[in-house]
Every structure is written in C-alpha cells, then in structure tokens.
Amino acid sequence: MTTQQCNNNRRDFLKYLAASPLCNALAGLEFAHASTEAGQRITSPDQAIDIFDLKATASEVLPPAHYGYMATGVNADKTLRANREAFENYYLRSTRLVNVRQIDTRVNIFGEEWPTPIVIAPVGSQKAFHSDGELATARAAQKLNHLQILSTVSSTPIEQVAEARGAPVWFQLYTLGGWPGVRKMLRRAEAAGCPAVALTVDLPTSSAPARHTLQRAIRLDSRDCAVCHEGSGVAARQKPMFEGIAADERDRRGMALTWDFLEQLRQETQMKVLVKGIVTAEDAERCVEYGVDGIIVSNHGGRADDSGRGAIDSLAEVAPAVNGRATLLMDSGIRRGTDILKALALGADAIMIGRPYLWGLGSFGQAGVERALQILRDEFKIAMEFAGTRSIREIGPDSIGMV
C-alpha cells in the first residue's frame, strides 16, 4: 500500500469513527473529563461519584437565588476561582514500599480527638438550602463524628443545634450587635457548652454589593420570596442568635473590627479563641502575639475580598510564621481528598469545608451532608494510602512539591 492509500484509508476510518455513536459517547466523556468539576445530576446520595455530583444536583434542585447565595464569590469570582486553581500548583510526592494497610486519619484539636481532619465550616442561613437547615447538618455531624462550627447568622438557635449534634459545637462570631449583643451571644454559646469561638475578621464591611453572581441569580428567580424572607435579600430573615438584641444594634459596622476587639474578646470569655480569615504571615504573627489559640486561614470561600489569591497559597505563607504556636486550620476551595493532604502537608492541623456539605444539604438534606463528608473521608484515606503516609504525623512538607 502506498503512503497516499494509507492516508486515505486512515481518513476514511476517522470519518467513520466521527460519525459513529460510540465516538459521540467517547467525545462526551472526554468533554466531561475536561470539565471535571461539572458533576452530574443524581437522584440519590449514594450515586454521587464525587462531591461535584452533589453540586450539579444542588444547582438544579435549589431555587436560583438560594443556589446563587451559596455559589457566589465577589465581582468576577476571581478569588473563588483562584481557590481551586491554586491547588493545581502543588503535586503529591508519594513514598513507595510502605505498608499502608492501616491508615490512621485521627487528629487532636485542643485536646479532643476527631476521626478525621475535616471540620464543618460555619455557614449562615442553612434553611435556605433545606428546611431542616443546621439541624440536618448537625445530625450528619453526629453520625460521622465531625466538629461543627455554627454561624452567628445561623437560621437555627445554638441550643437546638447542640442538642441535634448531641455534643457542643463551636461558635463563629460576627461583631453584629456591638458589645452588648456580642456578650449575649457569647453567654449563649458558653451555656450551650461551646469550647471555642471563631471570630471572623475577613468581612470588616459587607461584601453584599460585590456578590454579582448572587445578584444575577436573583434576577433569574421569579418566585415570591415573601415565603422565606421578611425583608429583602436571601439572608434577611431574623436570626435566632440576635434574639434580645435591638434591631439598630445589629449593624456589624457599628463596631470597628480591630485588634482591640480581639484583645477584649479574649478577656470576655473562657472559650478558646480562634481568628478566622487570616491570609498573611504578618497578621498571623500578630494573632499569636495576642495569644489566640487558633488561626483559620480562609478567604471566606472567595466571598470577601477580591484578592485573587487562593487560600492554599495563603496557608503556605502563614504556616511557617505560626510555626506550631497556634492551632492552624484552613478552608476555601477544598474539594478532594488530595486537597486535604496538600493543606496538611503545608502545615494545617485540620481543614474546613463549606460548599461541599451545602451541596449535599441542598440536594438531599442530612443524607446529602453525610454523603459529602463520607466522600471526602474516603478520598482522603485513599490519598494517604497512595502517598505512603500512614498517620497525620507522617504528612509533612516532603509529601508535596510545587509545579
């Protein structure tokens, strides 16, 4: 056969292949692979291959405005995207010939042992995603024994969440309500047995005007929102933690969020104090000087400042500055078990997830939250097996490299 004939035959074969249903199916698969984070709509939690199937489902099941509230970043969602993209700059350096039959994923946080380093991040208004809201999350947390942090703007009171969790949760604090309001919330958290309070510092002012993805989603939503809202905006309903706090005291900008506030917070409570939203070494060092017990490296899941930097890169900067002097948590962009391993290799003691469990909650309530947690637990264990790291202690700087 001449080269020409050969080329003709090859062209004919490719033409045949391109027209065949098999090829279309493969092309579809390849496309799906190219957008690996697209996920597929599913009808039961056990069908979720990874958490992106829960995302795809939540995006179809939830009203557009409510999904938009969950999904939004700020402006063009640059920080949100950077949170995912930054993980790609790190690769895993696996150690071979290690007996990985026994993998120990346990971590110890403030003297308490947890089966995994996966913590449930504080998220407000969870009834916007499922009628059981924070109670569904708490029941899932109880079933799989995860640490849960409750938001100041929770749609369920802390007393009920602690009861559903069957154990104390941590409390996340916004400075809404001024000191009189903050004191009321601290006393409630203490009475509910909270061992720790996380002060969120990355929203010194409201980022609502910059949440453009949310604003666009609201335009697509033609429902009568009076059913779930008293005022305007997705999260406008009166929050149970504000009970007894006068309406005009609830403005978070009424009180400057400064180091003085942190200083006083430490004096106001016996709870462990963490600062959530730190992204630089300088601020982390100052937190340590102010005697905080923990630091949460976070950019609020890309919903606060439009920095365009991934939180995993902030962790790489912050962890050496902290150098073990405070408990270090990280969130924003964790979507896979390998992401967790990377964060721990960079120095985090534990990680937190926000949207991944919300996707489960929005899709299937408690069962969906359980599925999201289980997927990430399973993936993390497998990541540890392949990395040749048998315990959290064995995950370290050598476990990763930079592309």
d(CA 130, CA 360): 10
Considering only 155, 156, 200, 314, the residue that binds ligand FMN (CB under 6 A) is: 200
User: Binding ligand FMN by CB under 6 A: which of 69, 90, 170, 359?
Assistant: 69
- Rounded to whole angstroms, the Cα distance separating 289 from 107 reads 25
Size of the site for ligand FMN (CB under 6 A): 23
Instruction: Single out the segment in contact with ligand FMN by CB under 6 A; choices: 22-30, 207-215, 258-266, 326-334.
Output: 326-334
Number of residues in the chain:
403
Residue 257 near ligand FMN by CB under 6 A: no
Using the rule CB under 6 A, give the single segment among 29-37, 57-65, 101-109, 120-128 that binds ligand FMN.
120-128
> Which of these segments, 255-263, 287-295, 331-339, 369-377, binds ligand FMN (CB under 6 A)?
331-339
Taking CB under 6 A as the criterion, which residues in 22-61 touch ligand FMN?
none
Dihedral angle over CA of 243, 229, 236, 298, nearest 10:
100
Q: How far from 210 is each of 124, 143, 207, 250, 305, CA to CA, in Å?
A: 18, 37, 5, 21, 9
Taking the complex as a whole, the smallest distance from the CB of residue 335 to ligand FMN amounts, in Å, to: 8
DSSP type of residue 352: E
239 sits near ligand FMN (criterion: CB under 6 A): no
State the nearest-atom distance from the C-beta of 198 to ligand FMN, in Å: 7
Q: Which of 57, 79, 137, 151 binds ligand FMN (CB under 6 A)?
A: 151
CB atoms inside a 10 Å sphere around CB 42: 18
Distance of closest approach, residue 352 Cβ to ligand FMN, in angstroms: 6
| Residues from 265 through 304 that contact ligand FMN (CB under 6 A) | 276, 298, 300-301, 303
Q: What residues contact residue 127 under an 8 Å CB cut-off, 6+ apart?
A: 133, 134, 155, 156, 228
From 66, 130, 146, 300, the catalytic residue: 300
Q: How far apart are CA 48 and CA 93, in angstroms?
A: 28
Based on the shown chain and the rule CB under 6 A, indicate whether residue 87 belongs to the binding site for ligand FMN: no
| Contact track, ligand FMN, 337-376, x by CB under 6 A | ----------------xxx---------------------
User: Measured between alpha carbons, how far is 68 from 377 in angstroms, rounded to an integer?
Assistant: 27
Q: What radius of gyration, in Å, describes the C-alpha atoms of the chain?
A: 23
- Asked whether position 334 contacts ligand FMN by CB under 6 A, the answer is yes
Please name which of 305, 312, 316 lies closest in space to residue 79, comparing C-alpha atoms: 305
Instruction: Specify the residue, 294 or 390, whose C-beta has the smaller distance to ligand FMN.
Output: 294
Identify whether 300 is a catalytic site residue: yes
**153: contact with ligand FMN by CB under 6 A:** yes
The answer to whether 95 touches 387, Cβ cutoff 8 Å, is yes
Least distance from ligand FMN to the Cβ atom of residue 399, Å: 22
| Smallest separation (angstroms) from ligand FMN to the CB of 253 | 16
What is the nearest approach in angstroms of ligand FMN to the Cβ of residue 235?
8
Strands 294-297 and 327-330: parallel
* For ligand FMN, the closer CB: 339 or 370: 339
* Region binding ligand FMN by CB under 6 A among candidate stretches 185-193, 278-286, 332-340, 389-397: 332-340
State how far the alpha carbon of 226 is from the alpha carbons of 125, 216, 403, in Å: 15, 19, 50
State yes or no: residue 182 binds ligand FMN (CB under 6 A).
Answer: no
Residue 328 or 390 with smaller CB distance to ligand FMN: 328
CA–CA dist 118, 274 (Å, integer): 17
Shortest spacing between CB 309 and ligand FMN, in angstroms: 14
Q: Write out the H or E segment, with its range, that includes residue 92.
A: strand 90-92
Residue 4 CB partners (closer than 8 Å, separation 6+): none
Cα–Cα distances (Å) from 92 to 51, 95, 334, 376, 398, in that order, read 21, 9, 15, 17, 9
Task: Output the smallest distance, CB 265 to ligand FMN, in A.
Answer: 15
Contact 335, 102 (CB under 8 A): no
Closest residue to ligand FMN: CB criterion: 354
Is 118 a binding residue for ligand FMN by CB under 6 A? The answer is no
- What is the residue-wise DSSP string for 357-371? HHHHHHHHTHHHHHH
Q: Which residues are catalytic?
A: 300
User: Which residues are at the interface with ligand FMN (CB under 6 A)?
Assistant: 69-70, 83, 121-124, 151, 153, 172, 200, 276, 298, 300-301, 303, 331-334, 353-355
